[in-house]
A and B are shown apart, each in its own frame.
Chain A
Amino acid sequence: MSTVTDTIHHENDLHEHHAPPSGIKRWLYTTNHKDIGTLYLWFAFIMFLTGGAMAMVIRAELFQPGLQIVEPNFFNQMTTVHGLIMVFGAVMPAFTGLANWLVPMMIGAPDMALPRMNNWSFWILPFAFLILLSSLFMEGGGPAFGWTFYAPLSTTYSGDSTALFVFSVHIMGISSIMGAINVIVTIFNMRAPGMTWMKMPLFVWTWLITAFLLIAVMPVLAGAVTMVLTDKFFGTSFFDAAGGGDPVMFQHIFWFFGHPEVYIMILPAFGIISQIVPTFARKRLFGYASMVYATASIALLSFIVWAHHMFTTGMPVFAEMFFMLATMLISVPTGVKVFNWVATMWRGSMSFEVPMLFALAFIVLFTIGGLSGLMLAITPVDFQYHDTYFVVAHFHYVLVTGAIFSIMAAVYYWLPKWTGKMFDITLAKWHFWCSLISVNVLFFPMHFVGLAGMPRRIPDYALQFADFNKWISLGGFAFGLSQFIFLALLIKACRKQGDPVSDQVWEGAEGLEWEIPSPAPYHTFETPPVIK
């Protein structure tokens, strides 16, 4: 997208740097966007393994029909906390970590705009999850009402731990809002001279729009949990018809947050794929401007589709029609994106390094998730699919093979820039192929059991689903184990093992971050580069 003067190197070398302080204080007190990015990414990975362990409990229980390993109430806690951890603890912090590392380097800024607040927004997260996880050990157990905490499950039928759940979600929300404000202000105010809007890398564009969504909807989630708190503990009746409220109102408020939230978890992924595909196709991104407009359209549409999660609640027919058609409209900008990625590869001189493998898997598998989403958008059909494993299959295709695969692609793509060393390619390929095969064994059969009527969030099931569930569980265990390959690779990378890489790292990589030295110095662009 942009060409830069070639003096960046020397200029950075001339500056006197504050060496990072050593020991634990470096990480506790840091205001450096690269340190904070690393913290976010490691935290996200630890949460990914924690939430993954809960998924293993779920799959172990579902390996056979009947109840054999855990109590149903504990099973419900596992599904709930698995969802909360993966959404708020793994995917969102991983994207924020990537934004921290990359946005300042991509736009030629010395750091994030508000560095101390950046530290604060990270460090409140581990505390929030400490509260959530420790609530599992409370009397009566942790939250067991699903990550969507529908009323009256969360108001009438929940345990004491709901209070701690509410306050931990508040902290997660504060963290996300502060992180988003930081990203948005950095992009608005810190771009290097010449880095005009339509020269910005797509990762920056998608994060700008994501940050807007975060600031718009996280406060609505805060409102929703607050109403749950007062309904449960202080006798209000927002979600109780006897007092003039309505449990369905909870779903409206929750999904007004929840639908933009799912785009918060996928728009940065679109940005990552749009960075990686041109590099390994050795062509410019096809349709840059249309990518920007498509991202913005998806974000705007995300505010008017929330009730497609609620087709079976008995809304008036005109509302069902409206939400069905608005939802289907989203497939237009999404289709533009998939088309552009494919068109970028068309007649490119392709090579298949590990980041590209993950990116290609993303394009194919995310599209499968998108198509099952289109099926779910059709109101009368959704009456059949609602709350079945078909829905579970759909959102795991878009979140695991979509969001998480894109995060892995991003880590493989930028890791050599961060450490200065090439990662262990053999391990990376093992990680890719094991994950790719197991994830499809894990999630693809869920479509079939879902269409056949197996309900989600149930610890036991009818006998006819036994064979498929056995395979799903085996795929799940294999996918879980495959992530330890990734862990081993990351530990090796952080110990700086491997061959040194060039500044550009990947032949065909373009952008400011590839023009600074590898590993990226502790401070970059203290004086802004000039982009021609």
Chain B
Amino acid sequence: MAQPDYEKYYVPDSSPWPIVGAVALFLIAVGAGNFVIEQTKGTSGYGGYILTAGFATLIFMLFGWFRNQIHESMSGLYSDQLGRSYRQGMAWFIFSEVMFFAAFFGALFYARMISIPWLGGSGNNAATNEVLWPAFQAMWPLVQTPGGTETEAMGWYGLPLINTVILLISSVTCHFAHVALEENKRGRLKLMLGITVLLGAIFMSLQVEEYIHAYQEMGLTLQSGVYGNTFFLLTGFHGLHVTLGAIILFIMLLRIFKGHFTPENHFAFQAGSWYWHFVDVVWVMLFFFVYIL
């Protein structure tokens, strides 16, 4: 009962790339697990090598898989319906990333609003404070932990504020790049996307500088209590995502120089730009809850 206007949904033939990717993740997990054990115990082993081999396999897989897909897309095998599948898939993936960050934000809120006040004796927890650490006073940022570790709090002005501005501008340039692509203005597209990637790189280098400053001058480390924990895990995972997003956009830039993408057909670019806006929104939340408040 074929309908005249029905375009066949492209179901790819069997592909070797997923199983290569499965081996890659296996090597990464085994390698990372052993690497962590060896690093923290100071023993020697093969963890690092397995981990490196895993990442190499993953990169190999990504190149192969995406080469296939780009080829299929450019030979016109993809229907609008398939484009919708990709877009919806990407949107749900970003939602899962939001929930990943939510776990760490949850930890931050719990520590601030519940565990630290309770340790300080608020509510009906006077005995907790009295028995465990009578000298401890609830505070945020937690510059002195109940166990006695001392640190300094990271201010929001200076580097973090500059970084916020950089990332917000990059989100705007990324949007303009998208508009330029849809209007088929390739020159403006290259310029705007180039600026976006550059701003991403500047953001990351400033972030590295902030970490060095925190470790060397402020004594704010991953070990300095729950303030340092939430600070480094939230900003660290965000930085990882910015790096990934910048790499994605950089590859899009290379593809644009090769003449890929049309105003109608540019899912990969769109997915990369969604991802970039997502890391921006996470940063705004971070800036507000980790730095300012």
> Footprint of B on A, CB under 8 Å?
5, 7-8, 11, 18, 21, 25-26, 28-32, 109-111, 113-117, 119-120, 123-124, 127-128, 130-131, 160, 163-164, 166-168, 170-171, 174, 177, 180-182, 184-185, 188-190, 193, 215-220, 222-224, 226-227, 229-230, 233-238, 241-246, 248-249, 252-253, 256, 316, 523, 526-530
CB contacts under 8 Å to A, within B91-147, are 92-93, 95-97, 99-100, 102-104, 106-107, 110-111, 114-116, 118-119, 123-124, 132-133, 142, 145-147
Q: Told that A113-B88, A120-B17, A222-B100 touch, could you supply 11 new A-B pairs with CB distance under 8 A? A: A11-B2, A110-B11, A115-B11, A168-B29, A181-B96, A219-B102, A220-B106, A236-B228, A245-B115, A526-B8, A529-B1
A246 touching B111, Cβ below 8 Å:
yes
A226 to B114 CA separation, bound complex (whole angstroms): 21
A235 touching B33, Cβ below 8 Å:
no
B146 touching A243, Cβ below 8 Å:
yes
- Chain B contact-residue range equals 35 or more
A193 touching B3, Cβ below 8 Å:
yes
A189 touching B14, Cβ below 8 Å:
no
- Contact residues in A for B281 (Cβ distance below 8 Å): none
B41 located at the interface, meaning its Cβ lies under 8 Å from any Cβ of chain A in the complex: yes
B22 located at the interface, meaning its Cβ lies under 8 Å from any Cβ of chain A in the complex: yes
Which has the most chain B C-beta neighbours within 10 Å: A226, A244, A526? A244
B100 touching A219, Cβ below 8 Å:
yes
- Contact residues in B for A253 (Cβ distance below 8 Å): 103, 106-107
The one of B36, B88, B147, B223 that contacts A236, using a Cβ cutoff of 8 Å: B223
The one of B37, B147, B227 that contacts A160, using a Cβ cutoff of 8 Å: B37
A-B residue pairs in contact (CB < 8 Å), sample of 5: A30-B14, A124-B21, A170-B29, A238-B111, A243-B149
B65 located at the interface, meaning its Cβ lies under 8 Å from any Cβ of chain A in the complex: yes
Output the nearest chain B residue to A530 by Cβ-Cβ distance: B1
A124 touching B13, Cβ below 8 Å:
no
- Contact residues in A for B14 (Cβ distance below 8 Å): 21, 25-26, 29-32
- Contact residues in B for A227 (Cβ distance below 8 Å): 103-104, 107, 233
Least CB distance, B267 to chain A, in whole angstroms: 12
Please judge, given known A-B contacts A113-B89, A127-B29, whether A242 and B145 are in contact too, CB under 8 Å. yes
Output the nearest chain A residue to B104 by Cβ-Cβ distance: A223
B244 located at the interface, meaning its Cβ lies under 8 Å from any Cβ of chain A in the complex: no
A26 to B2 CA separation, bound complex (whole angstroms): 29
- Contact residues in A for B22 (Cβ distance below 8 Å): 120, 123-124, 127
Which has the most chain A C-beta neighbours within 10 Å: B34, B40, B88, B89? B89
Least CB distance, B250 to chain A, in whole angstroms: 23
- Contact residues in A for B104 (Cβ distance below 8 Å): 223, 227
Least CB distance, B23 to chain A, in whole angstroms: 8
A245 to B25 CA separation, bound complex (whole angstroms): 32
A243 touching B84, Cβ below 8 Å:
no
B19 touching A119, Cβ below 8 Å:
yes
Output the nearest chain A residue to B147 by Cβ-Cβ distance: A242
A241 touching B119, Cβ below 8 Å:
yes
CB contacts under 8 Å to A, within B1-38, are 1-3, 6, 8-9, 11-19, 21-23, 25-26, 28-30, 32-34, 36-37
